[in-house]
Amino acid sequence: MLSYALLMLGTGILGVSLYPISRIIRRLPPGPMNLQWKVLRGLILFFIAGYLAYLFLFASDHGTSRLLVSSIFFCGACFDLLVCILPHGTVRDRKRIVTPETEDITDPLMEIFNRRYLDRAMKTGKNRSVVFGRNMGTSLA
C-alpha cells in the first residue's frame, strides 16, 4: 500500500512541476532555450505516463522490490520538481534585479539614458584611463 501511495504522490509531484515549466516557457522568447524547456516538459509528461503505466501494469506484484522501485520513482519526482522550481525562481529574481537597474539609468518618459548613466559612464571612463595611463583631467563629479 505504501508503494501505491509513493507512486501516486510522485505522479502528483511531476504534475505540479509542469506549472513552473509552463510559466518559464511563456516568459522566454522563441528560440533554443524555449525549445529545451518544451523538451523537458515533454519528458515530464512521458515520466507521468510511465509512472501510471507502472502503477497499473504491476499492481499484482507485492513485495520489497515494488517498494524500492516506488521509492526511487518518488525521489525522482522530487528531484524533477526541484529542477523545475529553482530556475523559475532564478528567472523571477533576475527580472526583479534587472528591472530596477534599467529604470535607474533610463528616463521612463523619453526612454533614454539619464544623468545617473552619464555619471557611471564617466566614472568608468576615468577608471579605464587610469588603468591605461591616459590623463582625463581633474575631477569629473
Residues 6 or more apart in contact with residue 10 via CB below 8 angstroms = 51, 70, 73, 74, 76, 77, 78
* pLDDT value of position 72: 75
Domain ranges of the chain: 2-105, 108-141
CB atoms within 10 A of CB 77: 25
Q: Which pTM was predicted?
A: 0.52
Estimate to the nearest angstrom the gap between the alpha carbon of 140 and the chain centroid.
41
Dihedral pair phi/psi, residue 15, rounded to 5°? -60, -40
Q: Pick the closest to residue 119 from 104, 135, 133 (CA basis).
A: 104
* pLDDT value of position 138: 53
Q: What are the 10-residue block averages of pLDDT along the chain, 141 residues in total?
A: 78 86 82 81 84 73 65 77 72 66 71 80 84 64 48
